[in-house]
């Protein structure tokens, strides 16, 4: 190679032919179409009759593969550090090492088929730097929407690492919200109850007062930011929903009544079912027995809560909490989460929407999560149809972000 070495391409041109299109909106694939991509966005979707496959000219025959929007993971932590040796190693990284560690996680996340993430508490502001680096083409990764640091009470959930900011009282919480928005946060994350990973708390421990939640939510909304909350017990969730909470993370102990309240208020749920079914992951990290026991024992109630949400018509959204790319039970953690969502009662076409267009709608990003003219050409391909069985995503063999192919296992685009 002669001449200057460019940064990674962030936008590309291509024509994809001989495919079955799952657009993130319709419940079944469409046949006989081609996708024309210009400068990273879908310019046209047209009959697949006018194009001849030619890699040199950017026209690629996908051999009948199913193409769908790239996955949008709404609960991601690139700097996750759970109790135990694995988490301790992450917490011991200096700021430079942490940035590189997170960049590697972002690259692996993209290659797993996740083209957009919502980060919901990251350490030391490194998420903002990572977002800029990805947008500039310095490192490979998904599109990032981030909450910056989560807000918790003194000693609250996540207080022992710097991915949270301890705030007590309405004034302090207001300042906390504003501080994350000033740093560049796209949304705000609150820790309103205990959880699985806190040794000195229970899932049911309420951790923010009504005044604190009200201050956080009203301040964030005034600045045009939505609010999501780590939350387990029904009572604290109900109180936050009545105050205007936009999304619940986990929702371990919902009731039918609280699920109905969420549906009535348009409050979404990111269930993260995999986190109460993650023994192999915990073993990989050396997570202590007290946390493993709390997680696994919460599993049946967690699944009941998810089903209450489905029955009530709550908008459920994909979120793995575990690193999306993690090699877990024969697939990636993000695909395993989607399989749990289907097994728990959500039909496969709706699981596809929960992983694509529904998260994009929550994010206010109408050019993501769908394959339609004007949308970003963020997509994945696989041999089988995920609207028939979401386990088809175990076969992802092509990933494109912004019209740039970043993974091509099947060699269809060379």
Instruction: Give the CATH number for residue 205.
Output: 3.20.20.140
Domain assignment present for residue 380? The answer is: yes
Q: What's the confidence (pLDDT) of residue 55?
A: 62
213: nearest Cα among 185, 248, 257, 251: 248
63 and 79 both lie in a single domain? no
357 and 389 both lie in a single domain? no
C-alpha 21/C-alpha 68 separation (Å) is: 6
C-alpha 331/C-alpha 329 separation (Å) is: 6
Domain CATH for 398:
2.30.40.10
Domain limits for position 80:
71-363
In three-state secondary structure terms, 178 is helix
Q: What is the CA radius of gyration of the chain?
A: 21
Q: What's the confidence (pLDDT) of residue 1?
A: 53
Q: Domain boundary at 329, 348, 363, which?
A: 363
The strand order across the sheet containing 114-119 reads 71-76, 114-119, 143-146
Mean pLDDT in residue range 96-108: 97
C-alpha 298/C-alpha 288 separation (Å) is: 16
C-alpha 155/C-alpha 123 separation (Å) is: 17
Domain assignment present for residue 5? The answer is: no
pLDDT over 90 for what percent of the chain? Answer: 83
C-alpha 337/C-alpha 74 separation (Å) is: 12
C-alpha 46/C-alpha 38 separation (Å) is: 14
Q: What's the confidence (pLDDT) of residue 197?
A: 66
The model's confidence at residue 294, banded by pLDDT at 50, 70 and 90, is confident
Mean pLDDT in residue range 116-121: 97
Total Cβ atoms within 10 A of residue 410:
16
58 and 129 both lie in a single domain? no
355 and 303 both lie in a single domain? yes
Domain assignment present for residue 31? The answer is: yes
Mean pLDDT in residue range 175-200: 91
222: nearest Cα among 266, 181, 265, 164: 181
Examine the pLDDT at 162 and tell me if it is beyond 90: no
262 and 400 both lie in a single domain? no
Predicted confidence (pLDDT) per residue in 325-356, tens digit: 999 999 999 999 999 999 999 999 999 999 99
211 and 287 both lie in a single domain? yes
107 and 57 both lie in a single domain? no
Mean pLDDT in residue range 133-137: 97
- More confidently predicted of 160 and 83: 83
62 and 135 both lie in a single domain? no
Can you spell out the DSSP letters for 199-213?
A: TTS-TT-B-S-HHHH
Q: What's the confidence (pLDDT) of residue 390?
A: 98
Domain assignment present for residue 316? The answer is: yes
Examine the pLDDT at 140 and tell me if it is beyond 80: yes
Alpha-carbon distance values, 42 to 14, 78, 123, 358, 402 (Å): 9, 29, 35, 19, 9
Domain assignment present for residue 7? The answer is: no
**Number of domains making up the chain:** 2
96: nearest Cα among 122, 129, 138: 129
Q: What's the confidence (pLDDT) of residue 158?
A: 66
């Amino acid at each position: 190679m002669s001449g200057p070495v460019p940064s990674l391409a962030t936008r590309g041109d291509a024509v994809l032919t001989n495919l079955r299109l799952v657009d993130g909106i319709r419940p079944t694939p469409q046949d006989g179409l081609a996708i024309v991509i210009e400068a990273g966005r879908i310019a046209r979707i047209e009959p697949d009759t006018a194009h001849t496959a030619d890699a040199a000219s950017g026209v690629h025959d996908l051999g009948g593969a199913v193409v769908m929007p790239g996955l949008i993971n709404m609960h991601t932590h690139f700097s996750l550090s759970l109790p135990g040796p694995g988490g301790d190693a992450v917490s011991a990284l200096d700021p430079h090492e942490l940035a590189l560690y997170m960049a590697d996680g972002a690259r692996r996340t993209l290659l797993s088929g996740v083209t957009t993430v919502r980060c919901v508490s990251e350490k030391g502001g490194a998420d903002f730097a990572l977002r800029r680096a990805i947008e500039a083409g310095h490192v490979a990764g998904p599109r990032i929407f981030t909450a910056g640091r989560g807000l918790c009470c003194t000693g609250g959930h996540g207080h022992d690492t710097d991915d949270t900011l301890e705030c007590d009282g309405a004034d302090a919480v207001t300042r906390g919200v504003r501080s994350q928005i000033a740093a560049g946060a796209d949304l705000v994350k609150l820790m309103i109850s205990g959880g699985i990973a806190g040794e000195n708390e229970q899932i049911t421990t309420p951790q923010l007062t009504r005044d604190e939640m009200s201050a956080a939510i009203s301040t964030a909304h005034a600045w045009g930011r939505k609010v999501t909350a780590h939350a387990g017990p029904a009572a604290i969730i109900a109180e936050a929903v009545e105050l205007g909470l936009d999304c619940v993370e986990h929702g371990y102990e919902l009731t039918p009544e609280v699920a109905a309240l969420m549906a009535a208020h348009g409050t979404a749920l990111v269930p993260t079912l995999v986190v109460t079914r993650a023994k192999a992951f915990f073993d990989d990290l050396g997570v202590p027995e007290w946390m493993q026991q709390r997680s696994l024992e919460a599993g049946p109630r967690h699944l009941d809560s998810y089903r209450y949400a489905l029955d009530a018509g709550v908008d459920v959204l994909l979120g793995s909490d575990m690193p999306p790319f993690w090699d877990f039970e024969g697939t990636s953690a993000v695909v395993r989460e989607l399989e749990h969502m289907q097994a728990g009662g959500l039909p496969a076409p709706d699981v596809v929407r929960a992983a694509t267009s529904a998260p994009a709608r929550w994010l206010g990003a109408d050019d993501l999560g769908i394959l339609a003219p004007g949308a970003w050409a963020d997509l994945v391909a696989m041999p089988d149809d995920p609207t028939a069985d979401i386990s088809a995503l175990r076969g992802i063999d092509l990933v494109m972000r912004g019209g740039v192919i970043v993974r091509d296992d099947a060699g269809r685009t060379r």
